[in-house]
Amino acid sequence: MSDKYTQFVSRGFGRDLAGRLGLPRPVELRRYMAGSPLVPGPVLVIGRQDEGQGKEPEALAAELLSWGLDVRRNALPKEKLGAIVLLLDEVRRPEDLEVPVLTAARSLRDLAAGGRVVTVSRTAESSADPAEAAARQGIDGIVRSVAKELRDGATANGILLGSDAVPRSPGTLGALRFFLSGRSAFVDGQFLTVSTASGRQPGDPDKPLAGKVAVVTGAARGIGAAIARTLHRDGAAIVAVDVPAAGDHLAEVANEVKGTALQLDITVPDAGDRIIHHALERHGSLDILVHNAGITRDKLLANMDDGRWRSVIAVNIASQLRINDAILGSPDLPVAPRIVSVASTSGIAGNRGQSNYAASKGGVIGMVRASAPLLAAQGGTINAVAPGFIETEMTARIPLLTREVARRLNSLQQGGDPGDVAEAIAFLASDAAGGISGEVLRVCGQNLVGA
């Protein structure tokens, strides 16, 4: 569903009028297009200036140069920047933040529309030193605050390094490319942890899933259809799964992406085995599994009945657990696939009238975190994407005033597109994200309500 207000105030008279009236002025976001520049201008790389701390910033700058980017180590006066990359992996005390952060601050006004700020630092949990942990956790507050200050579709996000990862690990570089690109248009104020040095960069950045076979549940419409289209665009062969009642829409999507359709109720006990069999029989592999299928049966908890509760739990989380068990127990899959589940910000912050839905989506988050070691043992990864307000048929049915308020309650002051969710999933399903597992990435424009 189009957001006509955002279209109106994004340019010319509409933007001027909104400014005079003090109304929100969201802009049309910079989204990914094949062949378009990764960033809309030069990239400024900033690191600590202490003696002996210049090696990693210079090496990272060289890596970005190899991507064909215009890289700066020092900002030029009044030059519009496409991105600022702030390397903070060596901070030891809160005082260490001052010089690099305030150096970046002097260039924030020069950030182009749709620009990016990305920090690279280490997890606070990986340090037993209170001062070091304080400095690292302080970066969290900096990034989330800056994300709320930026305008014109610019975003700020962070990459956290686990004990086995370094700034030039494949997973770090993959996350950096994602955050710099238009693929992350509706991801703002968020962090991804790169736990290991696993992964590899794709030979063709525009076809990172070439040769992969991807199964997408709930693929007949909405976010699921967008996921199928995006994974196909990135090179994957698609198995589109949905209930028999959605058969006509499912066939349309499968034909559009030149994939195959599997009409299946994912709550049946043998759903996992049937998915595996179909993927192997029709495509010879199963490399990516996207758990997108989900339902809502909203009601205040005081009025909740057994049927509403059970159906939501059955579809949204119990089915995923059974299918994952089948994947992990299958003798026909020598390597576990990359699994990406669709959670929700409702599972993080809660939502009125959605206790059943929030339980199921919170369950997805718990499942992902606990399953990461199990998938790692079989060569796979598992992550979740938690959408916020996304423009779908479901949100289009929300009363107009409520819908408008919900759209504006994030740092980007607009709803996301189904493709924004799909882009995050495509990244997490790629080899570049091989060092990332057990993570939950919010695609919500930095929603200002709740968590």
Q: Residues 311-321: what's their mean pLDDT?
A: 97
pLDDT tens digits for range 143-182? 999 999 999 999 999 999 998 888 989 999 999 999 999 9
If asked whether residues 139 and 263 sit together in one domain, one would say no
Range of the domain at 398: 213-443
Residue 235 is assigned to a structural domain of this protein: yes
Residue 450 clears pLDDT 60, i.e. is over it: no
If asked whether residues 137 and 283 sit together in one domain, one would say no
pLDDT tens digits for range 365-380? 999 999 999 999 999 9
Distance of CA 446 to the CA centre of its chain: 12
If asked whether residues 118 and 229 sit together in one domain, one would say no
Active site residues: 357
If asked whether residues 243 and 316 sit together in one domain, one would say yes
Distance CA 433, CA 338 (A): 9
Q: Is the Cα torsion angle 270, 254, 343, 440 positive or negative in sign? A: positive
Identify the band that residue 19 occupies on the pLDDT scale cut at 50, 70 and 90.
confident
Quote the tokens at residue 382. 């598992």
Distance of CA 147 to the CA centre of its chain: 16
If asked whether residues 255 and 359 sit together in one domain, one would say yes
Q: Give the Cα-Cα-Cα angle 235, 285, 343 (nearest 5 degrees).
A: 70
pLDDT > 90 fraction of the chain, expressed in percent and rounded = 80
Q: Note the pTM of the prediction, 2 decimals.
A: 0.94
Residue 204 is assigned to a structural domain of this protein: no
Q: Residues 401-424: what's their mean pLDDT?
A: 89
pLDDT of amino acid 278: 98
If asked whether residues 258 and 395 sit together in one domain, one would say yes
pLDDT of amino acid 210: 96
If asked whether residues 187 and 289 sit together in one domain, one would say no
Residue 18 and residue 9 in contact, taking contact as beta carbons nearer than 8 Å: yes
